[in-house]
Each structure stands twice: as structure tokens, then as C-alpha cells.
Structure 1
Amino acid sequence: MSAPASAPDTTTSAARRKVRLRRGSSDRSAAALLLVGTVLAILWANSPWGSTYEAFWETELEIGLGEWQLHATLHDVVNDGLMTLFFFVVGLEVKREFTIGELTDRSRAIVPIVAAIAGLVVPALLFVVIALPTGELAAWGVVISSDTAFLLGALAIIGPPFPARLRTFLLTLAVVDDVGALLAIGIFYNSGLDLVPLAVAAVLMVAIALVRYLRAGRGLAYGVLGIGLWIAIAMAGIHPTLAGVAVALLIPVFPPRRSEVERTEELTRAFRESPSAQYAAAVNRSLRESLSINDRLQAEWGPYIAFLVLPIFALANAGVHLDAETLAAAFSSPLTWAIIAGLVVGKFVGITAATAIVRATGMGKLAPGLGMPRVAGGAALSGIGFTISLFIVGIALADGEAQDHGRVGVLTASLVAFGLGWAIFAIADRLSPPQAVGKVLARPFDPARDHYRGRPDAPYQIVEYGDFECPFCSRATGSIDQVIRRFGDEVCWVWRHLPLEGVHPHAKLAAQAYEAAALQGRFLDMSRTLFQHQDALETDDLCRYAEELGLDVPRFLEDLRSPAVVRRVEDDQIDAELMDLHSTPTFFVNGRRHIGPWDSRSLIRSLEASVDAPPETAAER
């Protein structure tokens, strides 16, 4: 059970902390392995055995079948082969974000999208201006992309308080950034197009798009057709890593399928009653089918990319000679400084300025708790352009000395960007201490968005963060009824979601049912029904309640797991994390956190006292 606000639920708090620590630990681990690969490459290239570095990665591999022969170096295997898998996972993330993720909501996405575009254009322009004397203008692509793994790892290492909103902002920005970088590679860094293989590639892409309709063997079909597409794209003169993106964008993505989830539940019950290999296989098959192949592939391949492919890539590409002569030549070259300026200055200025302009013009707005100092810190960290930057160095710069200068520029820019980001976060947190978070409501009451009872302009306002599976929240409903009877239309009560998933496994689904009912104007009736049946909150139960309330049940089911409804609930959860809320019910009285008992008498006294309270300060907000 969850505890009242006066006695925080330590079990829930611990569970939520574990989730945050696990996510941060994964980001830090991926960044640490990438850094290890980089350091090992540099040490190897500058050791007494440094000559073996290039020799090893230029080792020839040959695969033959009759008269057909394939020649490649180990370096080619990494950059053209393994990196295809990296771009495949990036493509999966891009497809998911545009289909059911953050980028489906224009109002949420407009700020990071515009900021990401500025973060692509401004660095490239700055690079061109500085690198003009070198004649290496084709290397502008080196400065356009941020390294997502290093970016999130750096954020986890710095550890600013309550990073959820900033992490979401940076992930959205990174997705758009990746799209731009991939388009640049495909359009500007190809070796001339051959139309026949290009036509074959187009046919293969159509075939890949149709694989979703196969009844079985879809994984094998995607694999075989994907390899064929890789070969066709390479023969067409386009960098073959783009095949990974193309396949990913053609793979379907959808929210969990209710029918398959219920089928899995039935099969699990049957397996429990009569264990057999047939039932076990059916349960596994049903589990797989309940999730889109996009989600399954991200979960299965993501760790291999983060913890194996990217460190190997760093080991194969970061081995620049850092002797005094090379460093002196690099830091006297406009090419090196163009890369440093493009990544460090261009990213910071482009992202920060674009965000400020979009906010000022009203085109978009930042999420609650995400101010410009935080955006500036994230913009600085976006100058860590490692993976794709080093990748383009090898494509855009043919001369070995120029490549060394490019790698020195990328490595230096990444170090400077990390230091700059750390400094900005430290200064911002000193000027605006994070202790104030949670004292006042992070997101003010919005009648156009929030669900409420009473007059929206009432002088008294009480906002409740609750959980439909929490027995204390059920009791608090009676307290709220007493408060409303006492104040009448002089009070406005607002409900927001804080499903404590660690201890209440059905709470989030119940919150989604509330939002689905709200789309048909029956949120209050649904909330009372949910509180009356806290021990029966499965999908079938929720559908029965919807039918009893006279709702359009097919529409209710469609809305129940829709991206908009899920995102609405998660918005409230993120706000709660931002304010460091760990228990339910939690109340805010006229915008200020209510500390103490939440019986009707205490809430009434708190509301009456709030009239004489001083207004909240900017620092508190």
C-alpha cells in the first residue's frame, strides 16, 4: 500500500529511485565503454607498436564462392558492416518517435525539432567560414551530428537534479539530429549513383515493406532482404550503412496489442493448469506478437550496439597519432579549429538561440521545469560529436594528415563540450538551487488541459496527485467531497495522475482508462467507479465499467492505449518526478505543497490559510 503524504512510501520511493539509477547507470556504462575504446585506440596508435594499429585494421578479408569474391579490410567490416547495425537501431528509434513517440505531438516536438535543425545548420556554416582556406569544405558533415550515447552518458555523469524533462528534450533533439546526419551521408557523401542497382534497391524496399503481411518467418525475411538491400545500395554508389536506416523505417511499430495481451493471459492460465511444451511455445509466440517488431529489435539489439559495436568502432577509428609534431600541425590547421568551433560553438549557439526564439515567438514552449539554463547545458553537451563525426572524417577527408587533424578536432571538441556543459549545469544549479523543486506546483492549473470540478476561476484551488489503486486516494475522495460541500463553487478541485507502478501494477492502466473516459466526457464517473473497484482493474474490468457508464466501448478501447492517452498520463508522472513526489495522495493548495494530514478539516484550514500566504517567488517556481 502507498502511504499518506505525511508519511512517504519508502518502498515506492526506493523503486522509483532504482528505475532512475538503472537508466543513468546504463547511460554511464555505454559512455564509459565508448571512452575505453577511444583511449585504447589512442594508446595503441601512440605506443611502440603503433605501426600495427593501421596494419591490423587494414588486414584484408576475402570471402569467395566459386568465381564470386568479396574483398574487405577489417576497417571496412567495422565502418560499412557493424555500423549498419548502429544506423539500423537509430532508424528504429526514429521510426518509433515519429509514429507513436515524442514527435507525434507537434506542440511538444516543435522546440527540439527547430533547435536540432539550427544545431545542424549553424555548425556547418561556421565550419565553412573557418575552413575556407584549407579547401576541405566537403568535411562540413563532421560537425553536424551529436553522439547520443556520449551525450546521455555525459548527462548521467554530471547528474543534474531531476533530469527527466531535459533527457526527453535531448533525446528528441538527438533523433532529429540523427535524421539530418543520415540524410547528409546519403545525399552528399556518395560515390556517384548507378541507376540499375538503385532500381533493384527500390524493389527490395517494396518487398521489405510487404514482409509485415507474412504469417510466419518475418525475421528471416527481413534479414535476407536487408542483406540484399545493403549490397544493392553499396553497388549503387551510396554508403551501405543507409541500408540499416531504410530497413528500420520500413519495419512496423505500434502500441501493445490488447488482443494478444489477453491471449497471452489466457495461454498463461492454461499453461499453469496444464504445463506442456505446446503451451509454453504458444505463450512465447503470443508474447512476441503483442509487441511490435520495432520494440523487440530495439530491446534485443540496443545493448549490443551500445556495449559492443560502438566501442569497437571507437577502437577502429580513434587511433590518431598524438605526438608533438601531429598535435602542433593539427592545432595550427584551420581544419581542426573549424571542427572545434563548429561542434562547440555552433551547437551551443544554434540550439540555445533557436530554443529562445521559438519560445519568444510563441511557436512552442518548453516543458515545465525545463528552463533556458538547462537547455544551454544540454546544448553544450550536444557538441560531443563523436561516432558519426569520426565516421564522416573517414569518408570526407581522403588525405591521411587531414584525417588526423579531423580526429584531433573531434576529440578536442568532445572534451571541451563536456567541460562547458558541466560548468553551465554547476553555475545554473548554484544560481537557482534545486531544493526549491516541489514546494510549488510545477505546472499551473490549465482549464483547457486539466480535469476539474468547480469553477476554473474559483478563489480556492486544490490539485491532487493520485493513484486509482491506492486505498488512501480512495478515502481522500470523501475528504474532497467534504471540502467541496464546505466551499461550494468557491473551490476548484483538479486531478492529476501519479500511478505508483512499483507497488500498484494496474494503476497506470486505470489512469489511462480515466483519460479514455474523459475523451467522452465521463472522467468523474469513471474515477468513482475505479475507486469503488480497486481490486478489479484488468482490461476486461475496465471495459465492463465503460459499458456500464454508457460509453462507446470500441472507441474507449482504442483510446485506452493510444499514444495521446499514454503520453497524458506520463506527463503527470514526469511532473511528479520533477517535484520529487513519491506518495499518494499529494495535494497542492492554491499552488503550494500541502504538508500534513489530508482529512477534510486539515484541507479546509489549509485552503483558508492560503489566502493570506505570500505569493510564490520565481526561485520557488
Structure 2
Amino acid sequence: MPLSRLPKEPADRLTMPFLRFIRIEATAGSVLLLSALVALVISNSQWSADYEALWNVRIGLLWGGVEFARPVRQWINDGAMTLFFFVVALELKRELLLGELRDSRKALLSVAAAAGGMSVPVLLFLAVAHGGQGAHAWGVVTATDTAFVIGCLALLGSRIPHGLRLFLLSLAIFDDIGAITIIALAYGKQIDWAAIACALAGLGGVVLLRMLGVRALLVFFAAGIGIWLAVDASGIHPTLTGVVLGAMTPTRSWVSDRRLQAILGVVAAYPEGPHWSGDTRDRADLQRAGVATREALSPLERLEVALHPWVGLLVLPLFALANAGFVISAQQVDWTLSGAILLGLLCGKPMGVVLFSYAAVRLRLAVLPQGLTWPLVAGGALLTGIGFTMSVLMAELALAPDHVASAKLGILVASGLAAVGGVSVLAVVGRRRPGRAGARTKQAEA
């Protein structure tokens, strides 16, 4: 093995395949789908009562006569999902400042598509559900499930261009930001302004810590918990904390490439031998090299890399297990509510995405990424009707318990049809792409 690589241990034979596994884009979507199916099957089995009771177990702290507790399901929806929105905000900020969305016209295409994909479905939903008991759940049809969309795109492989992946991923992220804004404003509780003042003070404290040069992530984690508690007490849904803190995460590294090379050069200049132990200058140089190596990556990049697998393979599956299940009973279904959700997600989302995207391009406010055509946009727009995670969360917040099952039925049917329709259309359009035809011709000639 070259000396430039880290030494391998027996445990690497187990960990390295796992690390490769979690990097596959389709994995999170596959695990999420499996979790949803498990929840749905158990909820309609003889264990349904015990399964529901599991998620309603109260967990928390009791201090004197003060209790801070909530059901397991609520801890997942309010706490764990904050981590999901934190990662979403990190991804969006990275794309806007460091990625391909630095081109404002490409970013505006995704913004316009997200705006259309949120407004048109609401209009269709209200046209059907207006005046009904479920009309307050209009936010359910505004969301796009990022993990499922990425999973569907991974199934298509090289048949679709990179520009479509970027367009749909950024659109889904903007959708998620819009969804959490709707949750905070439309589905929150009565506002406690004192708690909001505490949350703002906490955010000011985070800014001060950054100005003072504090880099210990544990300190910011503790501050984040305090801000989450304040937002939770304010009546605003606490997951908004994740979006705000993600947007505040620095994108610049503390150690420049030039300084890193200089520090590593000092360590590399030492001769071979056991001189790293003890309270010596040698060990201090080695420790300094360790810090420099870590800090050569920005906090945003380090946090995104560290948290993304946990969110994709733990947080989202837990959410699905806790929320996707419901008892299927035709007699108890509010067909108006289910139909309105189905219409909004399956028809409204694609219509809004295509119409607003086309208008933005025609008005010269935005441009299509290289390789992206309108048939591909239309196929990708069908995938935006997969609203699973955020749609279910908003249904839980917006509806009375006896209407949640009807909303989940509409969400699952619409998401399934959108996934099948979108993948089918993109598979057909992808085979007809001029670039792919040319590539196949060159391979045949070779």
C-alpha cells in the first residue's frame, strides 16, 4: 500500500462497504419507502394497537413539579426533523454559494419552479376542499420529498442529464424551505413574544461566538438546543430552528490551503522515529497538523458530510415508521379531502412547475441548465408530486385525528402515481436524448 494512504485494519473490511453503501443516492429513498410500507402493514395488522401505543409513549424530564415531556412521535416530528431541516439548509446554502446555483439565473429557475409547484396545487386543493373540514390542510400539497425524488432519479442512471438532477434537487430543497415556513406561520400555536425574544437573543449569541472565533461544534450544539427550546415555547414549530441555524453556518474554512501545506510541511520534515510522544514540540506540531487538517474544511462541509447519512438512514425512516401508518377503511375516508390532495399533488405540482419555469425562461429571468429540455422538465415535474415526508408532517399538524388517515391515503396514492409516472416518462424521454443517441453511435463505431 502506498505510504500516502492510511493503513487498513480488519474492521475496514466491514466499514468500507457500508460507507460506499450509504453514499448511493437511492439508499435513503429505498429505506424511507421500506419504512413507510412497514408502518402501513403493521397499522393494518393485529399489532396495530400496540404499534400506535409505542409512538404515544411519553418521554421527557420531570424536575420538581415541572414536566417537560411529549410522545415519542412528537419528539421525532419536532426534534429529529429539526436535524433534517438543518441539513436541508446546509445543502441549499452550499449550492447557492459554492455550487452551480451561484449562477443567479439557474437559481431563479428552481425558485420559479418551486413557487409554481407550491401555489398551483393550493389553488386546485382549495377549489375541491373549500368549505370542507379539511380545507385548513392546504399546505399538504405544497411539499416535495427530496429523498424519494433522488431515489427515483438514481433508478434512471445516465439516461438523464446532470442538469435535471440539479434542477430537481434544488427545487425540492426550496420546496422544503417553503414547507417549513408554512408550518411555522400557518400551523403553529399562539405566539409567545417573550420566548421569541429569547430565541433571537440565542441567535445573537451564536453570531457573537463566531465573531470571537469559537470553533468548538459542541458549544454551538448547546446553543442550538437552547434556541430550539425557546422556539418550541414560542408557539412557532421548532423545526424552523434547523433552517435558521443551517443558513447561519459558515461556508469559509479557518485554515487556508497555503497555511495547511506549511503546517503539514513542518510535520513531514521530521525524520522517522518515535518522537511523537511526551510533552514535546514534535507532538505539538503533530497536534497542530491535526487541527489544521480538520479546519481546512468549512463548518458547513464538515457538518453536511457528518449528518447526511444519519438524516437519510435514521431520521427519515424513523419519521416514516412513526407517521406513515394508518388504518385503511373505506367507510372512514373523507373522499373529498383525499381527492383534493390527490389532485393537488398529482396534477397541480407538475402544472405549476412547468408553467412557472417556462414563464421565467420566456421572461429571460432564468435559463435552462445545459442538457435540460422541456420534455425532461415535464417528466421531472411529475416527480415533484411525491410529497410524502413533509406532506404527512403537515397533515399531522393541520388536521383533527379523524381526518389524518384520509389525508395520508391521498398523499400515498398521489406519491406512488407520481413516482411511477415520472420515472416512466423520464425513461422514455431519456432514451431519445440527442446526446445519448450520439454517445451510442460513437460506442457502436468504436
Relative contact order, CA 8 A, sep 6+: which one is greater? Answer: 2
2:338 corresponding residue in structure 1: 336
Matched residue, 1:11: none
Cα 1:261–1:43 shift into 2, 3 Å: same
Partner of 2:44: 46
C-alpha spacing 1:217/1:67, structure 2 compared with 1 (3 Å)? farther
Asked whether 1:285 is paired with 2:287, we answer no
3-state SS of the aligned residue for 2:70? strand
Q: Find the aligned partners of 2:263 and 2:440 in 1 and give their Cα distance.
A: 44
SS in 2 for 1:69: strand
Report how far residue 426 of structure 1 moved: 3.0
Deviation at 1:367, TM superposition (A): 1.8
**Residues of 2 paired with 1:404 and 1:392: CA distance?**
13
* 1:340 to 1:162, Cα distance in 2 relative to 1, 3 A: closer
1:417 counterpart residue number: 418
Q: Which residue of 1 aligns with 2:318?
A: 312
2:21, 2:377 → 1: CA distance?
A: 20
1:401 aligns with 2:402: yes
| Equivalent residues of 1:41, 1:316 under 8 A apart | yes
1:276 maps onto 2:287 in alignment:
no
| CA distance in structure 2 between the aligned counterparts of 1:254 and 1:217, rounded to whole angstroms | 12
Alpha-carbon deviation of 1:62?
Answer: 3.3
What's the CA shift for 1:309? Answer: 0.7
Shift of 1:421: 0.4
Residue of structure 1 aligned with 2:378, choices 361, 364, 376: 376
Aligned to 2:83: 85
**Equivalent residue in structure 1 for 2:122, among 109, 121, 124:** 124
Alignment map for 1:598-613 (pairs within 5 Å) = none
User: Compared with structure 1, are the counterparts of its residues 272 and 183 closer, same or farther at alpha carbon in structure 2 (3 Å cutoff)?
Assistant: farther
The separation in 2 between residues aligned to 1:272 and 1:318, in whole angstroms, is 60
Q: Are 2:365 and 1:366 equivalent residues in the alignment?
A: no
Provide the secondary structure at the position in 1 that maps to 2:159.
coil
Aligned to 2:280: none
Q: Which amino acid aligns with 1:276?
A: W
Change (3 A) 1:396 1:100: same
CA deviations 1:312-333 (Å, max 9, x no partner) are 11000001112xxx24543x61
Does the residue aligned with 2:61 lie in a helix, a strand or coil?
strand
Correspondences of 1:6-17 after superposition (within 5 Å): none
Amino acid aligned to 2:276 = S
Classify 1:214/1:102 alpha carbon distance in 2 versus 1 (closer, same or farther; 3 Å). Answer: same
Match of 1:257 in 2: 256
Given that 2:159 and 2:436 are in contact with CA atoms closer than 8 Å, whether structure 1 keeps it comes out as no
**Paired letter, 2:409:** V
Which ranges of structure 2 fall in alignment gaps of 5 or more residues?
1-19, 278-282
Is the 8 Å Cα contact of residues 61 and 71 (structure 1) preserved in structure 2? yes
- Name the residue aligned to 2:241: 243
State whether structure 2 residue 225 is matched by structure 1 residue 227: yes
Q: 1:241 to 1:267 in 2, by over 3 A?
A: farther
Gaps of 5+ in 1: 1-21, 441-578, 581-594, 597-621
Residue in structure 1 matching 2:387, options 379, 385, 388: 385
Q: Secondary structure at the match of 1:159?
A: helix
C-alpha distance in 2 between matches for 1:94 and 1:187: 21
Give 1:360 shift: 2.9
Describe the superposition over 1:338-387 as per-residue Cα deviations: whole angstroms up to 9, x where unpaired: 11111111111111122222233333221221101111111111111111
The CA deviation string for residues 558-588 of structure 1, in whole angstroms up to 9 with x for no partner, is xxxxxxxxxxxxxxxxxxxxx99xxxxxxxx
Secondary structure in 1 matching 2:33: helix
Q: Find 2:192's aligned residue among 191, 194, 216.
A: 194
Tell me how far apart the structure 2 counterparts of residues 439 and 61 of structure 1 sit (CA, whole Å). 58
Match 1:185 to one of 160, 183, 186: 183
- The 1:226/1:435 distance shift into structure 2, 3 A limit, reads closer
SS at match of 1:71: strand
Label 1:372 to 1:58 Cα distance change in 2 as closer, same or farther (>3 A): same
User: Does structure 2 retain, via aligned residues, the 8 Å contact 1:31–1:149?
Assistant: yes
The residue number in structure 1 matching 2:34 is: 36
With over 3 angstroms needed to count, the CA separation of the structure-2 counterparts of 1:264 and 1:26, relative to structure 1, is farther
Pair 320,213 (structure 1): closer, same or farther in 2 beyond 3 Å: same
- Write the mapping of 1:136-175 to structure 2, written as runs, cut at 5 A: 136-159=134-157, 161-175=159-173
Matched position secondary structure for 2:325:
coil
- Could you tell me which amino acid in structure 1 is paired with residue 48 of structure 2? G
Change in CA separation of 1:333 and 1:241 when aligned onto 2, cut-off 3 Å? same
Matches within 5 A, 1:554-565: none
Q: CA deviation at 1:205?
A: 0.6
- Structure 1 residue ranges (4+ consecutive) displaced by more than 4 angstroms after TM superposition: 22-25, 270-275, 430-434
Is the CA contact 2:44–2:327 (under 8 Å) kept in the aligned structure 1?
A: yes
Equivalent residue runs for 1:406-445 within 5 Å:
406-432=407-433, 435-438=436-439
Counterparts of 2:392 and 2:55 in 1: how far apart (Å)? Answer: 15
Q: Residue 143 of structure 2: SS of its match in structure 1?
A: coil
Distance between the aligned counterparts of 1:207 and 1:437, measured in 2?
Answer: 57
> What is the deviation of 1:152?
0.3
TM-score (norm 2): 0.87
Cα 1:251/1:435, change in 2 over 3 Å? closer
1:393 and 1:403 in contact (8 A); partners too: yes
Secondary structure of the residue aligned to 1:427 is helix
**Which amino acid is 2:411 matched to?**
V
Listed one character per residue, the Cα deviations across residues 513-560 of structure 1 (whole Å, up to 9, x for unaligned) are xxxxxxxxxxxxxxxxxxxxxxxxxxxxxxxxxxxxxxxxxxxxxxxx
> Which amino acid is 2:167 matched to?
F
Residues 212 and 218, structure 1, Cα contact 8 Å, conserved in 2? no
Letter in 2 for 1:207: G
Corresponding residue number in structure 2 for 1:207: 205
Counterpart residue type for residue 302 of structure 1: H
The range that moved more, 138-147 or 94-103, is 94-103
SS in 1 for 2:45: coil
CA contact (8 A) 2:160 2:430 kept: no
What's the CA shift for 1:265? 3.3
Which one has a bigger Cα radius of gyration? 1
The 2-side partners of 1:315 and 1:120 are apart by 26
- After superposition, the Cα gap between the structure-2 partners of 1:285 and 1:408, relative to the gap in structure 1 and judged at 3 Å, is same
AA partner of residue 312 (structure 2): A
Task: Identify, as 1 or 2, the structure richer in helix.
Answer: 2
Which of 87-96 and 369-378 deviates more?
Answer: 87-96
Aligned residue identity for 1:94 = L
1:245-288 Cα distance to aligned partner (Å, 9 max, x none)? 22212221126832443245325524675662634432221112
CA contact (8 A) 1:260 1:289 kept: no
Note if contact 2:376-2:430 (Cα within 8 Å) is conserved in structure 1: no
CA offset digits 1:131-182 (Å, max 9, x no partner) = 1142322211111110111100011123351431211111221222122112
Distance 1:50 1:407, change over 3 A: same
Displacement after TM superposition at 1:438 (Å)? 4.5
